[in-house]
Amino acid sequence: MIRNLQLMIKPASSRCNINCGYCFYNETARNREISDYGGMKEETIKEIIRKASEFCGSGTCGIGFQGGEPMLRGIEFYKKIMDYIKEEKMETNFVFTIQTNGILINEEWAEFLRENNFLTGISLDGTETIHNSNRKNHSGQGTFNEVMNSVELLKQYEADFNILTVVTKELAENIEEVYRFYKKNDFHYLQFIPYIETEENMKSEKYMLSAEVYGDFLNRLFDLWYDDLINDRGVSIRYFDNIVGLFLGYPYEACDMRGVCSCQNIIESDGSIYPCDFYVYDDYKLGNINENTFEEIIQSKKTEKFIMESLVHNKECMQCEYRNLCCNGCKKHRDNNNKNRFCETYKEFFGKHTDKFYKIREMLIKGSF
């Protein structure tokens, strides 16, 4: 049997060693009956690995560790995962990523991440000023210097990493400065994610990301990226890379661009499973890995209902000329009429840059890059 599976595991639950002003998971946790499930038990992670291997056979299981802050669970927890897989001689190919604020990375962590081929996602919000205004520790101090020191350690140990940046109004308005800073520091793999509105932060002028502001951001970032690309100085920006892939005949890799949800198997530290990181609420719980198999979770009526809800689109969307490029985006960004709040953003963006994506496609086919 060969099947693939994708998991996102929260080994430290909602716990975090910093206090980001826009954190959506803080609010998610507070709206559950149990906000913090504590550290994941070794028995639970072993059950996850065992049942994932049973499901995949000789296929691939991608496991991403996230939080909260996943490194709070301690490095020994992760070492035991590697030992368990080796001891059981599992035929499944396990591929690991970890998304972290980077504060806890030291030489031991850097060496472990490299030796076990972890791709480390570092959360960094641009320049020192912007980052420190958003991502503070619990004493109210900025964390920029600590993060940059951790990045240098990853470079020193040749551990693979990319940069994940939350796009707020503040960052969007300063994207040229941020882009130049990333290039100066040889950050070649970038991901920009529009911040998620919550009841607590949606009224903050610093964060509010209107369709107009986000559109201006995308256009300016694209111009920077495109100019570097055609002049052989290109960097990888996940959103643009996905669009290029679509022009080459590949499906979108990022779930928020496909326009239809799938079961992402988000596993909280007690073993509870949810369909998506934006829906880790009690009402969306699909089961528990200590009681259910992945087969049962994926084929459950509750999972089917969650997926089917994402297939309902606005009539205007269905008639749009950019329907196959935009796909109405992530369900989390849709309003009560099932219209993406960045609809006008994407219309303008694709209207302005589609010809350039065709040019990139032709250059790739000809081997010009």
Angle formed by the axes of helices 211-230 and 343-366, nearest 10°: 10
- Count of beta carbons in the 10 Å neighbourhood of residue 195: 25
Q: Among 277, 282, 283, 355, which one carries the catalytic annotation? A: 277
* DSSP-assigned letters across all residues of 86-111: HHHT--SEEEEEEEE-STT--HHHHH
Contact by Cβ (8 Å): 125, 171: yes
CA distance 215 to 221: 10
Distance CA 360, CA 364 (A): 6
Query: Looking at the DSSP assignment, which residues form a beta bridge with residue 161?
Result: 120
Q: Is 228 a catalytic residue?
A: no
What is the distance between the alpha carbons of residues 143 and 128, in angstroms, rounded to a whole number?
Answer: 9
Structure-token match 């911040």, residue found: 195
Whether the Cβ atoms of residue 289 and residue 271 lie closer than 8 Å to each other: yes
- Catalytic residue numbers read 277
